[in-house]
Structure 1
Amino acid sequence: MAKIDLASAPMREGSGYPAPFHERAAGRTKWQLGDAGDLSDFGVNLVELPPGGWSSQRHWHEEEDEFVYILAGELVLVTDEGETLLRAGDCAAFPKGVANGHHMINRSTAPAIYLEVGTRNPAGVCHYPDVDLHYDPARGGYLRKDGTPYPKRTG
């Protein structure tokens, strides 16, 4: 199967973050194109972010590269260096192991659409510098920075 039917691709709304961290990305919609194409080495998502929405909590990965390409609209990229406006045709890369938290915020009045590509590392640890959140699959998933696990979210 080479051609992917977007209408039948797995779709996920919101995020898997524990409460209350999930609220900022609640309006985010991801079509999991890499899953639809049976890719195993890297993931590809088509993402729609509504006005006011966040792509994620600000984060960085120990063992996963990330890349985004803006297809429509505009987003504000927030990193340790500050804020950068990204518009359709712009892209950004986040190499694994670089401790520079990043995320995007839609501060415009229209939805933004972007392509997200990243390494699939089932043991990938993720750091969230702004909030009491850490992700470590070997230790059960989402944890507080002191190692205490968050309860599973039910809604």
Structure 2
Amino acid sequence: MSTIDIEHAPTRFGTGYPAPYDQPCRARRRWQLGDAAGLTQFGVNLLRLPAGSWSSQRHWHETEDEFIYVLQGEVVLVTDAGEEVLRAGDCAGFAAGVADAHHLQNRGPQEAVILEVGTRNPAGDAAHYPDIDLDLPGGGGGYTHRDGRTY
């Protein structure tokens, strides 16, 4: 397949985070363009962040690279180093295994649109959320508390 009909691409609206960590991410909307194209080695998402919403909880991945490109609007990139405003045309990347937690916050009045590209790891990636009591162990078992208890 070469052309993707975005309106009919698979979607992931909201979040799978357990409460109360789901709150700031409930309004996010993702169109899974990589899935629509049948891509298996990397994922591509079109992310729409309404005003006041977050892309995710602040996290880092053990085995998956991530790249974002801001297409429209303005977001605040929050990393271990602090905060940086990203506007349309700005981009950032996050290498696998680097424990620099990150996420985007839309603090402005307008929707932001971001293109996300990332590694697909069929063996299962682990993600860590240093600001909250949340981990995602590798192997697809779902979210856990830091002490290993499941949600």
TMscore range, shorter length: over 0.9
TM-score by length of 2: 0.97
**1:67 aligned counterpart, secondary structure:** strand
Aligned to 1:135: 136
Aligned to 1:43: 43
Change (3 A) 1:139 1:116: closer
Aligned to 1:117: 117
Percent identical among aligned pairs is 59
In the alignment, structure 2 segments of 5+ residues that lack a partner are none
Q: Deviations over 1:36-95 (max 9, x none)?
A: 001111100000000000000000000000000000000000000000000000000000
Distance in 1 (CA, whole Å) between partners of 2:17 and 2:119 is 19
Distance in 1 (CA, whole Å) between partners of 2:74 and 2:28 is 15
**1:71 aligned counterpart, secondary structure:** strand
* Paired residue total: 150
TM-score by length of 1: 0.94
**2:22 aligned counterpart, secondary structure:** helix
Change (3 A) 1:41 1:139: closer
Q: How far is 1:139 from its partner?
A: 6.6
Aligned to 2:3: 3
